[in-house]
Copies of this chain bind each other. A is one copy, B any other.
Amino acid sequence: MRELRRPGAFHCGLDAAMDVVGGKWKVSILWALGERVHRFGELRRALPGVTEKVLAAQLRELVEDVIVHREVLDEVPPRVEYSLTPRGAALNAALAPLGAWGSEHVLGRAPEPAASGT
């Protein structure tokens, strides 16, 4: 999926965005990172059901797309932190209305204040 980046081949930016956000766990990752920086293990715990392989893959794609920043801390116990890039933060913001829509029309109310505080 990473290779089918054909600039201009999309109907509009929407298709392009869907391509970036299309992964099964992408939005959840974005949502998690929108709250705070996470390290691999934390992310894994934050996403019940995801396997390391898949999480690593989704993360890699997001990093490739410059949505997520990968910070490797050179410590004795390996420590890697993932955070949103400015672009990722913008994506998250752009996703907010969609989340609100889902809350209202699918879940039936409960428009959460997005990934702000809590």
Contacts and interface: CB of A to CB of B under 8 A. Distances in A.
Interface of A: 7-8, 10-22, 27-28, 31, 87, 90-91, 93-108, 110-112, 114
Contact of A99 (B12, B27, B93): B12
A48 to B, nearest CB: 10
B27 A106 contact: no
A13 B107 contact: yes
A47 to B, nearest CB: 9
Copies in the complex: 2
B15 A27 contact: yes
B13 A99 contact: yes
A112 B15 CA distance: 13
17 contacts: A7-B107, A10-B102, A13-B98, A13-B104, A14-B27, A15-B28, A15-B102, A16-B102, A17-B99, A18-B21, A18-B98, A21-B98, A90-B105, A93-B97, A94-B97, A94-B98, A98-B98
Contacts of A111: 13
A94 to B, nearest CB: 4
